[in-house]
Amino acid sequence: MGASKSKEDAPAAEAGAEPDKAPSSVSSEVDEDPPDNGAFYCSLCNWIGTMYDRFDKAFVTFFILQNINHGLWIIAVLAVKDYYKEYLGLDPGEMAIYISIIHIPWSFKIVYGLISDNVPLFGTRRKSYLIIMGIIQFLTLFSLYAFEFDDPLVVAILLAFASMSEAFTNVVSDAIMVIQSRKDKKFGSQDFITLLYLSTGTGGALGCIIAGIMTEYFHPKWSFYLYSFNGVVISFAACFLTRKSEKDAHTREVTSSEQSTELEDYEIEQRRLMVREGVDPREARNTPVPKRKGFCFDLKQNCRQIGKAVCMREIYQLVIFFILLATINPAFSEFSYFFLLDVIGISKFMFSMLVLIGQLCHIVGALIYKAFCRNVDTRTMVLCSFITTIISNFLNFCFAKRWNLGWGIPDIVFLLFTDNVFAIIGTLLYTLPIMALFAKITPKKIEGTTYAFLTGTMNLGSTVISPGIGTFINSQWVGVKKKDLSNYSTLVLISLICSIVSLALLPLIPSKKNVKEWVTKREAADVIIRKTRKERRAAKRKEDEAAGLIDPVDDEVPPAAPADYE
């Protein structure tokens, strides 16, 4: 959007920055209104054009295609619901368990981030994985079409592999997105998240139409067949990515003196350990030290940096928030699917159309967020989201009790004007602000793993913990089954009560003021830590000179390289 050049883009000397001050992952700039993209009828096209101007063109194209593919995942979701209910005859509780298994791979996104960050494949760290994951998506989905398995666990495992390929691709794409978003520090992260939801919503809308037709008139295996070829599209698009796509333009280059000093410190430390083990100092001095390269060393360094990132207050508070939110908010979506089809009597095609309208509402919510809400504090947005969730759950309870008929409101009309309105609000007030916050607080150099850890924790709560607790509550106390849905309203009442309790978790969402304050304190502490380490290094050097491990020098030892250099 052609945002003006920020203070961080200027050299440190011009900005008057302290030489020892660590770069911040959060902008300290004053809030500004987003740039104008022209009249409303051409604003979207102009805005997408600015995305290609500001960021890597090959990646923007891949990012759009990948998120459309992610939105098309709804084809597999609706197809497997129909497969389990109509062809395998599962109860809603059983179906919820198997669908949770399908989504478990999304909870291990941090593992995919560690692999992509530390294990180069065919000379690249990310491109090769994207190509391979597209192929896996094709093979797993095509096998469901070819063999028509009648074991629900086998179906769940195959779809879990497809889900893993989606999650891995998502992790790698998000890591590059975080790097690219730094090219526009003011609105880069918000714009990428908006583009993500526009693309996902577009794919979801197309997927609902396809799934609605296929599940209504054909065997669900044909849905898997059609969706499988999107994996081929992703693999093809990934072939055009370059090393430039994942290069961070704002990362400071490490000087040769810093690298040599870091290597020297490492070698001295290894020889010092030899002396402690009884080796003669002269022999230790002449013994070659193995190079610290390879997967184990890189993984150790990466895990150390992730540990530091998790200790950041803004990150661990969000992790606690997602776990607690999922624990006290049980999900009953599979029970709702049975209620709508068997009690309300809507067709599978109509159910898909309701999901379609919900996907379109996500697009509308993303557009509203882009236009008006990118500068609003995340905590404020989440508070409004909690309030609207309470209202939505109350209306769902009214619907479950069939009160809408007493008010003269038909079921379809009630569904259209409640679920879809709140779908827009949910995207606008909760999902988009949270995802944009992720991109802003993710530390440099470990974008893939940290962003994956946050989104993986969020997915673990929403797709595994919350449905699992919902299934447990139903099996222990409520007893809703395929042939007896009379107590469904009790499940909705539980959701309503739990959504009210969720308001107590709001302080765990960091505000802009909180994040800036914590970053400032961390930077001040880092300056002290670096100064202390420098003094200790100088003292150890004198000891090593006296022990004969190194030659005495008159020059001052250069400062050690930052912990996050490549």
Residue 31, SS3 per DSSP: coil
Are 233 and 65 in contact by the 8 Å Cβ rule? The answer is yes
Residue 185, SS3 per DSSP: coil
Across residues 266-294, what is the average pLDDT?
Answer: 69
Residue 253: the pLDDT is 43
Q: What is the 3-state secondary structure (H, E, C) of 303-359?
A: HHHHHHHHCCHHHHHHHHHHHHHHHCCCCCHHHHHHHHHHHHCCCHHHHHHHHHHHH
* Nearest C-alpha neighbor of 334 from the set 248, 463, 192: 463
Are 206 and 65 in contact by the 8 Å Cβ rule? The answer is no
Residue 258, SS3 per DSSP: helix
How would residue 6 be classed by pLDDT, with cut points 50, 70 and 90?
A: very low
Q: Percent of the chain at pLDDT above 90?
A: 40
Task: Measure the CA–CA gap between 451 and 472, rounded to whole angstroms.
Answer: 30
| Integer CA distances (angstroms), 477 to 83, 325, 473, 492, 525, in order | 28, 21, 6, 14, 52
Residue 24: the pLDDT is 41
Q: What is the 3-state secondary structure (H, E, C) of 440-492?
A: HHCCCCCHHHHHHHHHHHHHHHHHHHHHHHHHHHHHHHHCCECCECCCHHHHH
Residue 124, SS3 per DSSP: strand
Residue 441 vs residue 89, higher pLDDT: 89
Residue 48: the pLDDT is 87
| Residue pLDDT, tens place only, 34-93 | 666 666 557 788 888 888 988 889 899 999 999 999 999 999 999 999 999 999 999 999
* Range with the largest mean pLDDT of 39-48, 238-247, 260-269, 491-500: 491-500
| Residue pLDDT, tens place only, 405-430 | 999 999 988 888 777 677 667 767 88
Across residues 150-163, what is the average pLDDT?
Answer: 96
Residue 469: the pLDDT is 95
Which range has the worst mean pLDDT, 35-39, 134-138, 349-353, 472-476? 35-39
CB atoms within 10 A of CB 41: 7
160 Cβ neighbours under 8 A, 6+ residues apart: 101, 102, 103, 104, 105
| Residue pLDDT, tens place only, 334-364 | 999 999 999 999 999 999 988 888 778 777 7
Query: Does position 239 have pLDDT exceeding 60, yes or no?
Result: yes
Task: Measure the CA–CA gap between 456 and 109, rounded to whole angstroms.
Answer: 5
Query: Does position 244 have pLDDT exceeding 50, yes or no?
Result: yes
278: left (phi over 0), alpha (psi -120 to 50) or beta: left
Residue 249: the pLDDT is 55
| Integer CA distances (angstroms), 336 to 190, 415, 422, 487, in order | 33, 12, 16, 12
| Residue pLDDT, tens place only, 16-49 | 334 333 334 444 444 555 666 666 557 788 888 8
How would residue 499 be classed by pLDDT, with cut points 50, 70 and 90?
A: very high
Residue 303: the pLDDT is 78
Residue 330: the pLDDT is 94
Residue 450: the pLDDT is 78
Average pLDDT, the chain: 81
| Residue 191 phi, psi (nearest 5) | -70, -40
Are 378 and 434 in contact by the 8 Å Cβ rule? The answer is yes
148 Cβ neighbours under 8 A, 6+ residues apart: 219, 221
How would residue 495 be classed by pLDDT, with cut points 50, 70 and 90?
A: very high
pTM of the model: 0.75
